[in-house]
Amino acid sequence: MSHESKSTHAAAHAHPTGATYLKVAVILTLITVIEVWAYYIPVLVASPWFNPSLIIMSAAKFAIVVLFYMHLKYDHKLFKALFTGPLIIAGATIVALLFLFAKISL
Amino acid sequence: MASHAIAGHDDGHAHTHYTTTGLDNRKIAIWAFIGSECMLFASLISTYLIYKGKSLVGPYPHTEYTDAAGKVFPAILDIPVTSASTFVLLMSSLAMVLALQAVQLKGVPLPANAGWWGRAQRSSQLWLFVTALLGATFLGFQAYEFTAFVREGLTLKTNLFGSTFFTLTGFHGAHVTVGVLWLMSLLWIDRTRGLGPQDELVVDIAALYWHFVDVVWIVIFTLIYLIK
């Protein structure tokens, strides 16, 4: 293995500390508590912002786990591409199908 | 911690399979696999969303249903129970990442003033066990939910909600089951010969799979359980 390969490999392994992992767990728990709390407030559920808010909070949790627990924030760009590429295709497929079956419209 | 992990990592990779990118092909493979899994779950989620609200008969997920005979079926989803199982799965991700950190820290001398947390952070067996236990607990919640639904009259064949719900959450549960078995095999290896820094990649790959299972549930929890 060349020196360059070694340094690439090492750079791809700079991970956060245990304290960061604990903070991330607290943030994930808080977001989940807010999501469930909102579910039981009729005024919030009736609001047009309810579903978008839940989706944003879910996306935030998704991103936090991927970036910090899966270390994608610190990992090699090839891994980022291997994950985000199919994720974008998957997301676009869901949106396209929802349009196709008239579940959402412009 | 990172510098220690890197030092330990470089020492123990006599049998790795580096590609021209300088990256191990096994890690490239697991990321490609996770990418493909994104599309698998996207198809299942799409199917659920397309058929959402199209069931001709109940039980329904969020609203009450009365059949022709006057039998009342309450809204079937149990949000408090599922919220608890979601919390369990989120905490299993924390335990998994701590298990990986413990393996990375093997061989790094423990500071003399290290407290219980410092010692706990070095125990890969503890964190692998906790992760597997939390994963099994999640599966227990899912088994409870499925049997409760069947008792209340919702099966795979009852309506479109039942078909898409059981297919999506069943596929996810199957992934969690594979993850728990994988974690138990790692725990067994750790107990027999011990996992060291040379095994970091093996644990990292299992951890990536486990976290992916967690992020899929984050999406499922919102789309199925919380959005009415």
Q: What is the pLDDT of residues B18-42, one digit of tens each?
A: 677 788 889 999 999 999 999 999 9
Among the partner-chain residues A7, A13, A82, the one whose CB lies closest to the CB of B5 is A13
Which residue out of B40, B90, B119, B213 would a mutagenesis test of the A interface target, given it has the greatest number of A Cβ atoms within 10 Å? B90
- pLDDT computed for residue B87 by the predictor: 96
Q: Cα–chain-centroid distance for residue B10?
A: 29
Q: What is the mean pLDDT of residues B91-109?
A: 92
Residues 30-59 (B) with a CB less than 8 A from some CB of A: 31-32, 34-36, 38-39, 41-43, 45-46, 49-50, 52
Helix (H, G, I), strand (E, B) or coil at B152: coil
- pLDDT computed for residue A74 by the predictor: 87
Does B21 contact A25 at a Cβ distance shorter than 8 Å?
Answer: no
Would an 8 Å CB–CB cutoff place A73 in contact with chain B? no
Task: Show Cβ contacts of residue B25 under 8 Å, excluding neighbours closer than 6 positions.
Answer: B17, B18, B19
Does B50 contact A103 at a Cβ distance shorter than 8 Å?
Answer: yes
Q: Which residue has the higher pLDDT, B117 or B125?
A: B125
Would an 8 Å CB–CB cutoff place A56 in contact with chain B? no
- pLDDT computed for residue B102 by the predictor: 93
Which of B131, B132, B50 has the alpha carbon at shortest distance from B93? B131
A11-15, A41-45, A72-76, A97-101, range with the lowest pLDDT = A11-15
CA distance B175 to chain A (A): 17
Q: Which residues of chain A are within 8 Å of residue B87 when distances are taken between CB atoms? A: 29, 32
Q: Which residues of chain A are within 8 Å of residue B86 when distances are taken between CB atoms? A: 32
Would an 8 Å CB–CB cutoff place A105 in contact with chain B? no
% pLDDT > 70, chain B: 92
Would an 8 Å CB–CB cutoff place A77 in contact with chain B? no
